[in-house]
Structure 1
Amino acid sequence: MSTDSYTRTLRVLRAIAAHSRGMSLQQLHEELGIPIGSLHRVMAALVEERYVTRSPTNRRYFLGPAFTELSTMAVASQGTAVSPPRPMEEAARESGETVFLTELTGTRLLCVALVEGIHPLRLFVRVGQDMPPHAAASARSILAYQTPETVARVLRAQELTAYTADTPHTEEHVTAHLVQVRMQGFDVCENELDDDVWAVSAPVFGSTGQTTSSITLAAAGRRMRDPLARTRATETALRAARTLSMEQGYTSPTAPNGFRPSPEPAG
């Protein structure tokens, strides 16, 4: 690849990153002045390497999972946070609780962004932390939309520690739970990872309908004893995940209780 091709590729990535609603081929051509023929070649390479995805409905390009993996690995190695997406900030402000974003990278599920509310859970989660795939709602709400092979690979790469008496700690138990998560469109974790911590997590989908991450709202269990408080928290997490999915180019219809994207359920 020539230096000019490298430069064009980087310019394309910067342009797409600056447009949360994605960009069409014509928009990239008009903004960057790159010939359509050259753009076709650049975009084909980026799609093949998963640095960008193309929505099958509106044909716009969005940043892809490989691009996200790079930032996630930087979080894991350096402990630096990515900027919290706007829907996360709104959810934390509305609920007053801690809201965080989790990404799947390889076999690891990492917290990559966090917004603390007025009732912070400072010891519960931090940016760069591995979320246990069997015990954390943030992890299970992502795994529920992966293939059975991916689920098995992730679970077998970790020790399924029983953190509390309520922690599911066998592969069979977790896999069965993931089916329930997918059916309801979100996951709830209560005293499974930490005592007196309640959390609800909703999956986030990208432009191709694949699960890219999850948004989780976590609170002290004593503040979530009221069923109405739990319902409001669940609605807040679902709304934030739905908004972020739409910003990432997800355009498929959703059911009232959550998302129903294309991949087959785990299990």
Structure 2
Amino acid sequence: MQVIVRSLSILRTLAHSAGGLSLAELSDRIGIPVSSAHRLMGTLESEGFVTRSTTNRRYFIGPASRELAEAGRQHQSPLVTAHPAVVEAGRVSGETIFLCEFTGAAVVCIAMTESTRPLRLFVRVGQTMPLNAAASARVLLAWRDPEEVRQVLSRSALLRYMRGTPVSVAEVFSHLQLIRSRGYDICDSELDDNVWAVSAPIRSSTGDVVASVTLAAPFHRMGTEEAKSWAISTVRDTASEMSGDLGYTPSET
């Protein structure tokens, strides 16, 4: 396992070093002995994942690594790229639209389009969402196995971000029931003051909820029922389009 971790660290380091690195520099940056780095580099070079310049003896990312990266770009899931439905929702709303999915026991933002307005919300790819307070996370919990949800929540810090934040497992479970009944979630100043958000589930061909799509905006831009209704419809339509692209067909019953 240590060999794999070190090899991946080498590739990540070289990927961000346009001018290449010497063996000593790699050893220093990764924190391993030069002898260990030399053995790893020999294997990676023989497999084409790194190359070594014959003039300055510095290491660079090799053709095999570039081939993997290119294959990944060509076959990326619509859930980890700027899906056209997300781009369109961001364009017509002018608000921040983002996608989240479970990574282990955490809900993480995996893609987004940023608001075009001067006053915008700060969301970044890789950001972890609180399970009890974020609509994007609660939508993902709502259709999971109840016992699994209970275990995840019991191991999480259910912090009170605002007065209306649910902070007990029972409160979260009650809210999840509401989400299932209406098919989406709303976060109304529960995570951040004066922030309103709506989130809807994205389903795979099996019907499982695999991600959530969320629109978040300052409360004053969602101050009317008309604005909220429009935002809810936009997010649900976006989720429906993305679910369709993943092969989901709604039940007729």
User: TM-score by structure 1 length?
Assistant: 0.64
Structure 2 match to 1:157: 155
Tell me the C-alpha RMSD between the 2 structures.
2.3
Structure 2: which amino acid aligns with 1:130?
Answer: T
Q: 1:259 matched to which residue of 2? A: none
- 2:240 paired residue number: 242
- Which residue number in structure 2 is paired with residue 214 of structure 1? 212
Contact preservation (8 Å) 1:100, 1:111: yes
Kept in 2, the 8 Å contact 1:109–1:131? The answer is yes
SS, match of residue 161 in structure 1: coil
In structure 1, the residue matched to 2:50 is none
Hey, what does 2:105 align to over in structure 1? 107
Question: Which amino acid letter does the alignment assign opposite residue 180 of structure 1?
Answer: L
Q: Distance in 2 between matches of 1:93 and 1:134?
A: 29
Within the candidate set 17, 25, 48, 2:75 is matched to 17
Which position in structure 1 is the counterpart of 2:187? 189
Q: Aligned with 1:100: secondary structure?
A: strand
Please give the secondary structure, in 2, of the residue aligned with 1:195.
coil
Identity of aligned residues (%): 45
Q: Deviations over 1:77-117 (max 9, x none)?
A: xxxxx422111111111111100000012210001111012
Counterpart of 1:203 (choices 201, 211, 235) is 201
Please give the TM-score of this superposition, normalised by the length of structure 2. 0.68
Deviating above 6 A after TM superposition, structure 1's stretches of 4 or more consecutive aligned residues are 13-16
- Give 1:253 deviation, angstroms: 3.1
1:166 partner amino acid: G
Matched-pair contact (CA < 8 Å) for 1:163–1:193: yes
Unaligned runs of 5+ in 2: 1-67
Larger of the two Rg values belongs to structure = 2
Letter in 2 for 1:205: R
Q: Secondary structure at the match of 2:196?
A: strand
* 8 A Cα contact 1:164 1:193, kept in partner: yes
Higher relative contact order (CA 8 A, sep 6+): 1
Report the Cα offset of residue 18 of structure 1: 6.7
Q: Call closer, same or farther: CA 1:200–1:18 in 2, change over 3 Å.
A: closer
The aligned length equals: 184
Task: Return 5+ residue gaps in structure 1 as ranges.
Answer: 1-9, 21-67, 69-81, 256-267
Letter in 1 for 2:181: M
Read off the aligned partner of 2:134 and give its amino acid letter. A
